């Protein structure tokens, strides 16, 4: 399959024999660091909206059930809210699948079911739930190494790739999130490996294995269909558009995987969830799209937690580093295309373009925000393969001049330093760019205000249960009581509470005005989403104190 590679493999192997001890030692250190950062402070960051929705799916309850059972105005505690975040005897795995079908059909069920079984075994704390994604991400290393062996016929490229991915900040970010992205990364690698082996060995067993990996991928993430389509383009091109035995085997394997996925395609068609992707309607200029893509492509190598909504000064500081990373990526892709056989460079290009190219076109043509870092993970893997091959050839190959080896060794060292620094910063943060800080960064402050009171009551309505109240419930103390009312209903506030707060992520003028009128009180805004109920006498005292000071 790779007629041009044996000579390069020999050149790399000779130098590899000389340098294998220190290089392996360095990569093992990076691997240990990467494993450490996947688990350190795993429960420190806010358990944000998407994760809360994942936990709801894991529990087997639906949003409608939760609103009906909680939004009746009765007093409840934190445990009543957490009931809808964890598996319990009232709901089983079938209920979990039903919940996904009815309310989240675009979320494929494999990760949700696997996480449910994990939580049943290891507990329902935030650390336990997130640790499943972290554990799955460890499978990236053997899969990546084996894929490099198959693609480049070089164990050294595999080792270098492992070193890059181990401390890659984008992999760390999604290894600590209760979503399917770590599993998606692994399925992409396994499917790619299975395809290359099937094309090389040409046995029915290997094509069966490839069909099985497609099935796993289809039920892991919806955008895996784009990866599978790109793999089809690769096979058709390599076979020169001829109906060869390899192409026939590929078509049969793909058909088998697709047929088993058809029932879920029908579920998506008959149970559409347009509100789940409403955020894509955000309009963007060409400049905003370009800036966003620059950030997406650079985050695998440097990521200090700066989001698109952060001040311009912070983003301005990162511009030189982002430009260097983009130059490195561009040259790596060019280098792979120039120095490897068609079977190699075409595979790398199709992997990069599988999801990246459709999102890039839709972003710039429709001027909307379709692309996010989590959707471009297949492109990230292709880019990291290209960079790993570049570093391997430039640093280790005997055909590379001495000064070039020193230069590229310095470049590789700086890339690794940038990744490690990014991981250190990420490990100490309470909220990161992927957790929509413009929405959730005030939640820790809100929780701190409520927790300071002796016996607080928090009032809200059913529209704010999921995810806002569920996110907040992970931050506040058990002493806090909740009172959730239905839409256009007012609570019956009882005595015995030291302080009464109103929490509204989704605005409700009816609830605010109704509370002030019925209870002859005044709502004082404490935060963007938080109000404190004060009697008119207290308000008058505060106003007089302010006038006296003036």
Higher pLDDT, 173 or 542: 173
Task: From residue 451, give the alpha-carbon distance in Å to each of 53, 117, 476.
Answer: 24, 33, 6
Residue 313: which pLDDT band, with cuts at 50, 70 and 90?
A: low
Would residue 458 be called left, alpha or beta, if left means φ above 0 and alpha means ψ between -120 and 50 degrees? beta
pLDDT of res. 327: 97
Under 8 Å CB-to-CB from 344, ≥6 apart: which residues? 2, 5, 151, 152, 336
pLDDT of res. 20: 63
The stretch 450-454 carries a mean pLDDT of 94
Q: Is the pLDDT of residue 287 over 50?
A: yes
Task: From residue 488, give the alpha-carbon distance in Å to each of 43, 73, 398, 461.
Answer: 36, 12, 75, 9
Q: Is the pLDDT of residue 353 over 80?
A: yes
Residue 308: which pLDDT band, with cuts at 50, 70 and 90?
A: low
What's the mean pLDDT when you consider all of the chain?
A: 89
pLDDT of res. 185: 98
Of 336-340, 359-363, 394-398, 421-425, the one with minimum mean pLDDT is 394-398
The stretch 503-532 carries a mean pLDDT of 88
Residue closest to 41 by CA, chosen among 311, 420, 442, 423: 423
Higher pLDDT, 419 or 544: 419
Residue 311: which pLDDT band, with cuts at 50, 70 and 90?
A: low
The stretch 230-245 carries a mean pLDDT of 95
Residue closest to 216 by CA, chosen among 252, 173, 260, 158: 260
CA 221 distance to own-chain centroid: 12
Handedness of CA 90, 96, 101, 107 (dihedral sign): positive
Given a contact cutoff of 8 angstroms between Cβ atoms, the answer to whether 181 and 171 are in contact is no
Task: From residue 428, give the alpha-carbon distance in Å to each of 40, 366, 451.
Answer: 9, 37, 23
Under 8 Å CB-to-CB from 244, ≥6 apart: which residues? none
pLDDT tens digit sequence for 196-218: 999 999 999 999 999 999 999 99
Residue 368: which pLDDT band, with cuts at 50, 70 and 90?
A: confident
The stretch 272-285 carries a mean pLDDT of 74
pLDDT of res. 190: 98
The stretch 212-241 carries a mean pLDDT of 96
pLDDT tens digit sequence for 89-130: 899 999 999 999 999 999 999 999 999 999 999 999 999 999
Residue 509: which pLDDT band, with cuts at 50, 70 and 90?
A: confident
Quote the pTM value: 0.92
Percent of the chain scored above 70 by pLDDT?
91
pLDDT tens digit sequence for 411-426: 999 999 999 999 999 9
Question: Hey, what are 94's tokens?
Answer: 């079938």
Given a contact cutoff of 8 angstroms between Cβ atoms, the answer to whether 379 and 356 are in contact is yes
Total residues found in the chain within this entry: 550
């Amino acid at each position: 399959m790779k007629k041009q590679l044996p000579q390069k493999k020999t050149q790399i192997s000779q130098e590899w024999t000389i340098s294998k001890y220190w290089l392996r030692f360095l990569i093992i250190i990076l691997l240990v660091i990467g494993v450490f950062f996947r688990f350190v402070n795993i429960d420190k960051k806010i358990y944000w909206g998407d994760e809360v929705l994942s936990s709801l799916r894991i529990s087997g309850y639906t949003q409608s059930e939760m609103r009906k059972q909680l939004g009746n105005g009765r007093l409840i505690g934190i445990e009543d809210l957490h009931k809808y975040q964890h598996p319990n005897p009232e709901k089983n795995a079938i209920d979990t699948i039903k919940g996904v079908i009815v309310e989240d059909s675009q979320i494929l069920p494999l990760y949700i079911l696997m996480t449910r079984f994990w939580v049943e075994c290891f507990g329902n704390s935030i650390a336990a739930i997130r640790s499943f994604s972290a554990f799955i991400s460890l499978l990236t290393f053997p899969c990546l190494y084996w894929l490099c062996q198959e693609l480049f016929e070089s164990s050294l490229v595999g080792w270098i790739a492992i070193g890059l991915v181990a401390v890659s900040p984008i992999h760390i970010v999604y290894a600590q999130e209760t979503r399917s992205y770590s599993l998606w990364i692994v399925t992409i690698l396994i499917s790619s490996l299975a395809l290359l082996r099937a094309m090389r060995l040409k046995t029915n067993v290997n094509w069966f294995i490839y069909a099985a990996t497609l099935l796993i991928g289809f039920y892991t993430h919806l955008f895996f269909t784009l990866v599978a389509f790109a793999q089809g383009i690769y096979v058709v091109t390599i076979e020169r558009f001829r109906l060869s035995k390899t192409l026939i085997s590929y078509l049969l394997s793909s058909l088998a995987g697709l047929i088993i996925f058809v029932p879920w395609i029908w579920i998506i068609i008959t149970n559409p969830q347009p509100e789940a992707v409403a955020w894509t309607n955000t309009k963007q200029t060409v400049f905003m799209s370009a800036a966003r893509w620059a950030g997406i492509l650079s985050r695998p190598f440097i990521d200090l937690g700066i989001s698109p909504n952060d001040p311009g000064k912070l983003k301005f500081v990162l511009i030189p580093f982002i430009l260097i990373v983009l130059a490195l990526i561009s040259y790596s892709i060019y280098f792979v295309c120039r120095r490897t056989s068609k079977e190699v460079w075409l595979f790398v290009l199709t992997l990069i373009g599988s999801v990246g190219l459709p999102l890039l076109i839709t972003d710039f043509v429709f001027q909307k925000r379709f692309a996010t870092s989590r959707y471009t993970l297949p492109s990230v893997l292709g880019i990291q393969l290209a960079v790993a091959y570049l570093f391997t050839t430039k640093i280790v190959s005997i055909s590379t001049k001495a000064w070039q080896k020193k230069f590229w060794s310095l470049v590789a060292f700086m890339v690794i330093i940038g990744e490690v620094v990014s991981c250190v910063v990420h490990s100490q943060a309470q909220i990161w760019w992927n957790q929509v800080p413009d929405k959730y960064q005030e939640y820790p402050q809100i929780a701190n205000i409520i927790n300071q009171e002796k016996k607080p009551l928090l009032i809200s309505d059913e529209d704010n249960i999921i995810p806002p109240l569920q996110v907040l419930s992970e931050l506040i103390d058990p002493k806090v009581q909740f009172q959730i009312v239905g839409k256009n209903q007012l609570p019956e506030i009882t005595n015995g509470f030291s302080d009464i707060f109103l929490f509204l992520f989704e605005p409700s003028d009816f609830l605010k005005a109704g509370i002030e009128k019925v209870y002859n009180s005044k709502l004082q805004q404490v935060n963007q989403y938080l109000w404190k109920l004060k009697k008119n006498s207290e308000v008058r005292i505060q106003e007089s104190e302010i006038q006296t000071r003036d």
